[in-house]
């Protein structure tokens, strides 16, 4: 499901000045929160790097239409899926209305949770306010590009469907296969790569992962997003929203744990020097997390006990992350060839799609149980989620 944002700001500079400054894409980090860098590859291609709640996102965007003093429209061609347009409308000689239209597909736990909290909309509003302050304080643009792209095309405002070449990719690990194909062989090659990537992912039990993103990348990103979401819950006052965010957190942590137990822990047992002991320790922490999450499920978001349980969950999860990222994951990465680590990432992502969404602390924590019973338990959990209108997406 996509998220749409539309925000406007009126700036006290002529339309030409506002537009000229916006064409200086590489200066966006000066007023866009979370944007680490923008690289202008050529007249129509931009490479973006952003940090969202501590998680790196990366994508290539193609400028689809650029009309001087009127409009800039774009769509992603690889990585994080997004598209949109910025319109510039003069309001007298020295004032300009700048309107941003954005549509994107939330990716990962933090962005989906942020969607619930309307975080992206607020960020867009804040960024436009920073742009206003930036250009008004200068009174003049830092540079300008007055060229046009498809000036007579009248493409309207691009949406997620116009970023179809990026759909199915991930912005977690940098430029995707599709994006690399875009730079190498043009749009026809991109379309072929996108179709191939979709066919490869399909509904296979083995799953798939972007080139370069191995199982340690996937699991570490899960850890970062879970801890960031705990922080988001702490900052949220409304009890019902806290409850919804907790449901999302629980669902993702359960999926993560089940996938680890199915595919990662068997590999750790086999390849780590103290594999048996390491897995036994990690399983004990999973059990503690499951029991705590089970308790959180039954507590209202405004209950003081909710905060106590959240602190317990954060403490156990923090210890678990330290153990895995500080010792177990580096050992696993050193023991397995890169191709096997990437293959494990695909299996983990596929397992998460079928895994349960609710804690079952009494269930056996073993690979065979999850493979045989997990999909059935997951189906029952999702039915219960829908009937309870529980947020687990």
pLDDT tens, 29-44?
988 877 889 999 998 9
Q: Looking at residues 224-229, what average pLDDT do you find? A: 86
Q: Which of 179, 145, 173, 168 is nearest to 67 (CA)?
A: 145
The DSSP element (H or E) to which 64 belongs, if any, is: strand 55-67
How many Cβ atoms from other residues are within 10 Å of residue 251's Cβ? 25
Q: Which of 241, 235, 9 is nearest to 135 (CA)?
A: 9
Q: Rounded to an integer, what distance in angstroms lies between the CA atom of residue 250 and that of residue 247?
A: 5
Bridge-based pairing of strands 35-40 and 71-79 is unpaired
Q: How far apart are the first and last CA of the chain?
A: 10
Tell whether pTM > 0.85. Answer: no
Q: Looking at residues 145-161, what average pLDDT do you find? A: 83
pLDDT of residue 184: 29
Cβ atoms of residues 90 and 15 within 8 Å: yes
Q: Which residue has the higher pLDDT, 279 or 353?
A: 279
pLDDT tens, 50-92?
865 556 778 899 999 999 999 999 999 888 888 999 999 999 9
Q: Rounded to an integer, what distance in angstroms lies between the CA atom of residue 40 and that of residue 60?
A: 10
Q: Which of 8, 99, 134, 114 is nearest to 57 (CA)?
A: 114
Give every strand in the sheet of 96-104, ordered side by side. 3-11, 96-104, 82-90, 71-79, 55-67, 45-52, 35-40
Q: Which of 168, 347, 344 is nearest to 355 (CA)?
A: 347
Q: Which domains does the chain have, with CATH numbers?
A: 3-201 (3.30.530.20), 215-387 (1.20.120)
Q: Rounded to an integer, what distance in angstroms lies between the CA atom of residue 14 and that of residue 92?
A: 8
Helices (H), 202-238: 215-235
Q: Looking at residues 346-372, what average pLDDT do you find? A: 67
pLDDT tens, 327-342?
999 999 999 999 999 9
DSSP string of 83-149, one letter each residue: EEEEEEEE-SSS-EEEEEEEEE---HHHHHHHHHTTHHHHHHHHHHHHHHHHHHHHSS-S------B
């Amino acid at each position: 499901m996509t998220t749409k944002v539309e925000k406007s700001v009126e700036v006290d500079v002529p339309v030409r000045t506002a537009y000229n400054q916006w064409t200086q894409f590489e200066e966006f980090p000066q007023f866009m929160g979370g944007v680490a860098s923008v690289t202008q590859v050529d007249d129509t291609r931009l490479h973006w790097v952003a940090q969202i709640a501590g998680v790196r996102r990366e994508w290539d965007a193609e400028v689809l239409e650029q009309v001087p003093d009127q409009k800039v429209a774009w769509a992603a061609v690889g990585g994080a899926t997004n598209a949109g347009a910025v319109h510039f409308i003069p309001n007298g000689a020295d004032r300009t209305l700048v309107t941003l239209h954005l549509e994107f597909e939330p990716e990962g736990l933090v962005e989906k949770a942020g969607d619930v909290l309307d975080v992206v909309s607020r960020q867009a509003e804040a960024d436009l306010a920073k742009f206003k302050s930036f250009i008004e304080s200068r009174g003049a643009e830092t540079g300008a590009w007055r060229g046009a792209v498809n000036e007579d095309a009248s493409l309207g405002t691009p949406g997620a469907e116009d970023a179809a070449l990026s759909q199915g990719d991930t912005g977690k690990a940098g430029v995707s296969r599709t994006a690399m194909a875009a730079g190498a062989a043009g749009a026809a090659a991109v379309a072929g790569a996108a179709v191939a990537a979709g066919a490869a992912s399909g509904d296979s039990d083995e799953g798939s992962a972007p080139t370069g993103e191995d199982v340690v990348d996937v699991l570490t990103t899960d850890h970062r997003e879970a801890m960031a979401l705990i922080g988001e819950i702490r900052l949220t006052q409304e009890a019902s929203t806290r409850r919804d965010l907790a449901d999302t957190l629980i669902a993702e942590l359960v999926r993560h744990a089940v996938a680890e137990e199915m595919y990662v822990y068997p590999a750790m047992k086999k390849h780590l020097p103290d594999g048996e002991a390491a897995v036994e320790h990690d399983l004990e922490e999973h059990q503690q997390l499951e029991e705590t999450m089970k308790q959180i499920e039954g507590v209202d978001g405004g209950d003081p006990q909710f905060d106590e349980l959240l602190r317990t969950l954060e403490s156990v999860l923090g210890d678990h992350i330290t153990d895995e990222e500080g010792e177990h994951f580096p050992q696993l990465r050193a023991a397995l060839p890169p191709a096997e680590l990437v293959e494990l990432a695909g299996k983990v992502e596929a397992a998460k799609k079928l895994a349960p969404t609710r804690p079952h602390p009494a269930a056996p924590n073993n690979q065979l149980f999850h493979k045989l019973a997990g999909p059935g338990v997951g189906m029952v959990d999702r039915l219960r989620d829908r009937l309870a209108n529980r947020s687990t997406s």
